[in-house]
Amino acid sequence: MNHHLISKLPYGKDFLFVDEILEVSEKHIHGSYFFSKELAFYASHFEGQPVTPGVILTECAAQIGLACFGIYLTSNETKLAENQFIVLSESNMEFTKPVYPDERVYVRANLVYFRFNKLKVNVEMKTANKQNIAKGTLAGMLAKTGKNNA
């Protein structure tokens, strides 16, 4: 469902942390990602006992809760420039459970506001059996991507 949102993300396959968008509306988005044991960072992050880095979990939540949600919200209003996306500008995440290789996570983001080109969401990440992994607030803003736009 909503694979067109994922196809518009500006990430290559090695940095894409969204498998599917399960539900999206003007008020929320819900998606998932499977953290395969084949991901390169597992080889060095706690060698012998790999765990998903919190920064990667935050990135997963931001790709679903800000980037995909932002694409959805702006697609109805205006056309974004080809190299314009919602980029993470603020994060406040609290982690309560580690994510190990070969686990699927589910991210749900609820809209706080989207105005003046800034999107803010409350986000929750859970396991397949609904255990809490992380929760917090993420914010992003419309920005042009590419080295000529820094």
CATH code at 103? 3.10.129.10
Q: Are strands 84-95 and 132-144 parallel, antiparallel or unpaired?
A: antiparallel
Domain that holds residue 28: 3-149
pTM: 0.90
Give the pLDDT of residue 74. Answer: 85
Strand extents, DSSP E, the chain: 20-24, 28-35, 84-95, 103-115, 118-127, 132-144
Residue in 98, 132, 110 with CA at minimum distance from that of residue 64: 110
Whether the CA torsion 19, 91, 130, 111 is positive or negative: it is negative
Q: Which residues of the chain have pLDDT under 70?
A: 1-2, 76-84, 144-150
Give the pLDDT of residue 27. Answer: 98
Question: How many domains does the chain fold into?
Answer: 1
